Amino acid sequence: MSQLKYCQGPKCHTYDTKDRKRGPKDNKRNETRRRSSFYYLNGNACSMTCQDDWFKVYGSRALQHFGMITQPKVLTRDNAWTNRRDWRSEGNDGYYAYNYLTEERRPITEQQYNDDTNIDDQGRLNI
Ligand SMILES: [Zn+2]
């Protein structure tokens, strides 16, 4: 069983729902939601509202921390590769690397299709 963790939404405790209520009748309080898994904010927020709250408070700071781009990123024939599969084909024949700009196709293995090791994180072909 996985460990419980708290929703990272900075205002989670301010939303008045039954499952957030804790404490005895004369001292009721609302607490941040705690679950084994969440669906939002990469598994760290209990709702889209909490995800939006997090972004409003921390989004700009996260961009500053990890670095804003100062020049446009550019898609050229060198980094326009993606792996595709032709579902009508049988076996390895259906797997290929596809170039968005040149429309070139290069055969790849099923393994490469599944693990993407033939393309780097910038979209360049490694084979
Ligand atoms: Zn929340």
Residue of 87, 85, 82, 86 whose CA lies nearest to 118: 82
**pLDDT score for 91:** 66
Distance 104 CA to ligand 1 centre (A): 46
Distance 103 CA to ligand 1 centre (A): 44
Distance 66 CA to ligand 1 centre (A): 24
- Sequential pLDDT tens for the chain (127 residues): 568 999 999 999 999 999 999 999 899 999 999 999 999 999 999 999 999 999 999 999 999 999 999 999 999 999 999 999 998 877 667 999 999 999 999 999 999 999 989 999 889 998 6
Token couple for 115: 């693990």
Report d(CA 54, CA 12) in Å as an integer. 10
**pLDDT score for 1:** 55
**% helix / strand / coil in the chain, to the nearest 5?**
30, 20, 50
Distance 39 CA to ligand 1 centre (A): 11
Distance 97 CA to ligand 1 centre (A): 41
**pLDDT score for 113:** 92
Distance 50 CA to ligand 1 centre (A): 5
Distance 30 CA to ligand 1 centre (A): 12
Distance 9 CA to ligand 1 centre (A): 5
**pLDDT score for 122:** 87
Residue of 36, 41, 35 whose CA lies nearest to 10: 41
Question: HSE-up of 2 (CA within 13 Å, CB side)?
Answer: 9
